[in-house]
Amino acid sequence: MSTAEAATGQAAAALTRKPRRSTIADGSTRRSRTFRYLFLLLFLLFVLTPVYVVVVTSFKTASDTTAAAQWSLPETWTLEPWSKAWDVLRPYMIRSLSLAIPAAIISSMIGSANGFVLARWRFPGANIVFAFILFGMFIPYQAVMLPLRTTFTELDVTRGVPTLIIAHCIYGIPICTLIFRNYYATIVPTEIIESARVDGAGLIQTYARIILPISISGFVVTLIWQFTSVWNDFLFALFLTQQNNGPVTLGLAALSGGQKVDYAASMAGALITSFPTLLVYILLGRWFIGGLMAGALKG
């Protein structure tokens, strides 16, 4: 056999072996994909199990809400727990909306202004100021609760929604500043700022006419973040408000309190309370990840 014939035979043998390796690789890929999907399905079931219990229990009567029947469907479907929960939570929901919306907007505006100055309008000691602002993110609520309440008492500020707005605006400044500072450091070109300075635009004019129009993604992130944090807060509400002028978290606690708990109404109240934040994520969620990623390149 000549050398050419031997080479031809080896090449033919190699070609005949390739499909076998490809078949093995395809089988391994399919098994890996199957295991991945099974794992995701099990994880999804694990996450949705509490949701199932909450939803099903919210439509049960008092006689159905026993430990033995918590997994079963209601024998009699009823909307009475929803009606009871709504009657209790309605004034609290209104107060929470009047709290969360202004607090989210104000803290986002302050964070935007701080982020712009720290990112694009540098001044001596800017990094030190930024570090001190970020330090506020690591102070737990419990550490400032009593001093904050004492301060409001000394200033004769009435406990209620206005007090919570002030507290959440102050506590939201660090995270909003961080998000906007990274966002502006990534998105806004230095040439635009320099051109505005050459044209005679000052700090406020540059911010109002150039920066704000391109800050929608950043505002979506901070508004969602702050709205959710303020809406779900319980500790500030417990210390700085009262039962008759507090947000929805206090109303939910009152609904589920007492010696005989109405589990169906409590579950319905939990679902009602979660609807506003869920609606915010549904309406603005597609801009949320984009806004986060826009400020993730520089820190």
pLDDT at residue 113, rounded to an integer: 92
Length of the chain (residues): 299
Distance CA 218, CA 101 (A): 16
Least Cα distance to 58 among 270, 249, 279, 248 occurs for: 270
List, as one string, the DSSP characters of 134-184: HHGGGS-HHHHHHHHHHHHHHTTPPSSHHHHHHHHHHHHHHHHHHHHHHHH
pLDDT at residue 6, rounded to an integer: 52
Residues near 81 by beta carbon (within 8 Å), at least 6 away in sequence: 58, 59, 60, 262, 264, 265, 267, 268
Residues near 177 by beta carbon (within 8 Å), at least 6 away in sequence: 110, 111, 114, 115, 118, 130, 133, 134
pLDDT at residue 298, rounded to an integer: 47
Its sign, for the CA torsion 116, 117, 118, 121, is positive
Least Cα distance to 288 among 224, 212, 232, 214 occurs for: 224
pLDDT at residue 186, rounded to an integer: 80
Judge residue 111's burial from the number of C-beta atoms within 10 Å of its C-beta, 0-12 exposed, 13-18 middle, 19 or more buried: buried
pLDDT at residue 299, rounded to an integer: 44
Distance CA 119, CA 186 (A): 9
pTM recorded for the entire structure: 0.80
pLDDT at residue 103, rounded to an integer: 95
C-alpha distances out from residue 18 to 8, 28, 88, Å:
16, 15, 70
What single-letter DSSP state applies at residue 201? -
pLDDT at residue 100, rounded to an integer: 94
Tokens of 23: 């078949």
Element (H, E) at 231: helix 216-232
pLDDT at residue 2, rounded to an integer: 53
Model pLDDT for residues 272-292, shown as the tens digit of each residue: 999 999 888 888 777 776 666
Residues of the chain with pLDDT below 50 are 7, 15, 18, 296-299
Q: Number of H helices and number of E strands within the chain?
A: 11, 0
